[in-house]
A and B are shown apart, each in its own frame.
Chain A
Amino acid sequence: MAIVYQKSAGLTDKELHYCPGCNHGIIHKLVAEVMDELGILDTTIGVCPVGCSVFAYNYFNCDMQEAAHGRAPAVATGIKRTHPNSPVFTYQGDGDLASIGCAEITHAAMRGEKFTTIFVNNAIYGMTGGQMAPTTLIGQKATTCPLGRTKEQAGMPIRMAEMLSTLDGCVYAERVCVTDIPHLNKAKAAIKKAFQKQLAGEGFTFVEVLSTCPTNWGMTPLKAKEWLTDNMIPYYPLGCIKDIDAPKAEVK
């Protein structure tokens, strides 16, 4: 019998700890498949965050470092600058990247650090139990905005892919989601492109993946998927935000 589907070689046999309906498992799989397909599992060094994906070092079948909260882009900078030929990626959530680690991601992008960031945006702090994130939507309830986020109290949610794309060092920024097979395929293509551009040495590459948090949104997985489509995508539009070739060095 032909094998039509199997677990990616990019994942270990460790059982995932994620809640039912959480998209982290799917996103892990896409990153793992991309690394496997590009033949870089043996050379890649990944950096995982603090948050729900804190244990990602147990799941990816490549060398991994666990960073302090928000500092993954600085850690990845230290790795990539000293291992310029190794593929390097960070895997970060919205509390980690858009809040406490906003300086680190911004300056890594500014410097054009040649690594790839997978940014999983589920509009809430998952691991600590559903507090408001910088990406929490207006009106969305969280344990630190129990009546719903207001613009007056917390400002408007931050669009990281758009913000980082203003920096010259960022050569690729795309927002995707994994709510169904067509979107999942687009997400995988974006992740692959980001790694390929990194391998070509073009600059900083960034893929934002909109993701569900049924547990902290207080919804079933199916309802959460609908909520993402109806509420997150209008504010965080899908698609490629930036895709430029690194400027070719002029020979004079």
Chain B
Amino acid sequence: MEKELWKGNEAIAEAAIRAGCDCFFGYPITPQSEVPEYMSLHMPEHGKVFVQSESEVAAINMVYGAAGAGMRAMTSSSSPGVSLKQEGITYIAGAELPCVIVNCMRGGPGLGTIQPAQGDYFQATRGGGNGDYRTVVLAPSNVQEAVDFVQEAFDIADQYRNPVVVLADGLIGQMMEPIVWHEVPKRKLPPKDWATTGKHGRDHTNVVNSLYIDPAECDDHNHHLDAKYAEITKNEVRFEERDCDDAELVFTAYGTPARIAITAIEQLREEGYKVGLFRPITLWPFPEKPLHELAAAGHVKQFLDVEMSSSGQMIDDIRLAVEGQKPISFLGHAGGVMPTVEEMVEAAKKALKEAK
């Protein structure tokens, strides 16, 4: 297969088109504006729908309408815009609609900065909007993964009737990288017989709704959702372990910092340090069990969590998984400053020295 040079955001958009995205609704925000720009030109070429909405709130509600009517629907934005989408996302989760949401994260809080950051981990993995719900969260570490995950996200969403978030960052969105277009695994998907497509002879009306006014019914609905989340947790956990077989120190990182950590590990290994990387790929469901088992391994002395976040957000899930078996230190920057290889090497050496 030939390699092609693609900019992250444009590759994400093209990946969605190749995955059979029927409609895209978006609003400009740096650093993801190339996604709606690309879609505005190329969706109509494929006979598909593009609408530039008046706001992120409207965009996610257009997704709700189209997804509810049986379409493969997508929106993308960056952190402040994704905050605005949270209302729609909780309704989509409550009404059990499939859709794909790309967040090309930038620094916060508030307007923050337009540079890459990872401050939306809590928002993405804890639901983000009101109520008890979860979104599947896929975290690509490079443009190739972003392309693959966006394509697969549509199938995951359709399989579980649940929103899927692709949580990238401004670096992945803005960077150009060689990628290969290949077929992602296709899933056996249930029919969308629940969709509001017009009755067309059906003997009942289909209703897309998240309202369960009777408390007992709402309780039942929540338990139904919870059972679905348990099923997703059972089936969809993904992670990568690199050089962990003999590692004394294990970096934990996702997305861009995980990629930087690979170079740090190579340097440290050359100097004789036994270090590895544990990279969650699904941030929800979080790879809790494999990380717990890794923490139990005798050779693992400690973890070093690296995030583009001032005090860490994923580190909460790391702690829950490690359950105090081994110490966890942290290296992080927020506001668009990325941790460097040198910082990671230094932090790892310091942690290993203190452990002795």
A: residues with CB less than 8 A from B are: 12, 41-45, 47, 54-55, 57-58, 60-68, 71, 74-79, 81-83, 86, 103-104, 106-107, 111
Contacts and interface: CB of A to CB of B under 8 A. Distances in A.
Contact of B198 (A44, A55, A57, A71): A44
A45 B73 CA distance: 17
Contacts, number: 136
Contacts of A45: 69, 196-198
A103 B69 CA distance: 23
B263 interface: no
Contact of A54 (B22, B73, B198, B211): B211
Contact of A63 (B25, B61, B205): B205
Dominant secondary structure at the A interface: mixed
Interface string B244-259: 0000000000000000
Contacts of B63: 78
6 contacts: A61-B205, A64-B207, A74-B53, A77-B65, A82-B71, A111-B51
B311 interface: no
Given A71-B58, A71-B88, A83-B198, 9 more contacts: A57-B205, A60-B205, A64-B196, A74-B53, A77-B65, A78-B73, A79-B69, A81-B49, A103-B54
B278 interface: no
Interface string B69-102: 1010100000000000001100100010000000
Nearest to B66: A78
Given A71-B61, A74-B65, A107-B54, A82 B49 contact: yes
B89 to A, nearest CB: 11
Nearest to B23: A82
Contacts of A57: 205, 207, 209
Given A65-B207, A82-B23, A75 B61 contact: yes
A19 B51 CA distance: 39
A106 B55 CA distance: 12
Contacts of A76: 65
B148 to A, nearest CB: 26
Contacts of B182: none
A65 B64 CA distance: 9
A63 B65 contact: no
B198 A62 contact: yes
Interface residues of B, number: 40
Q: Which of A55, A57, A64, A79 has the most CB of B within 10 A?
A: A79
B199 interface: yes
A61 B203 CA distance: 10
Contacts of B57: 71, 74, 103-104
A134 to B, nearest CB: 18
Contact of A107 (B58, B65, B73, B201): B58
Contacts of B113: none
Nearest to B49: A81
Given A81-B23, A82-B71, A74 B62 contact: yes
> Which of B55, B58, B59, B207 has the most chain A CB atoms closer than 10 A to its own CB?
B58
Contacts of B95: 66
A107 B57 CA distance: 12
Contacts of B170: none
A114 to B, nearest CB: 13
A75 B88 CA distance: 10
A192 B213 CA distance: 32
Given A42-B200, A81-B51, A82-B71, A64 B208 contact: yes
A41 to B, nearest CB: 7
B202 to A, nearest CB: 8
A54 B213 CA distance: 11
B127 to A, nearest CB: 16
B208 A65 contact: yes
B58 A103 contact: yes
Contacts of B196: 45, 63-65, 79
B206 A104 contact: no
A47 B73 CA distance: 18
Contacts of A83: 69, 197-198
B15 to A, nearest CB: 20
B91 A78 contact: no
A61 to B, nearest CB: 6
A42 B57 CA distance: 30
A172 B156 CA distance: 42
A82 B54 contact: no
- The residue among A71, A82, A104 with the most chain B CB atoms within 10 A of its own CB is A82
Interface string B37-59: 00000000000010101110111
Given A78-B69, A83-B69, A103-B55, A43 B198 contact: yes
A63 B198 contact: yes
A90 to B, nearest CB: 10
A75 B211 contact: no
The 7 closest A-B pairs by CB, nearest first: A78-B65, A75-B65, A74-B61, A78-B66, A78-B62, A63-B196, A107-B54
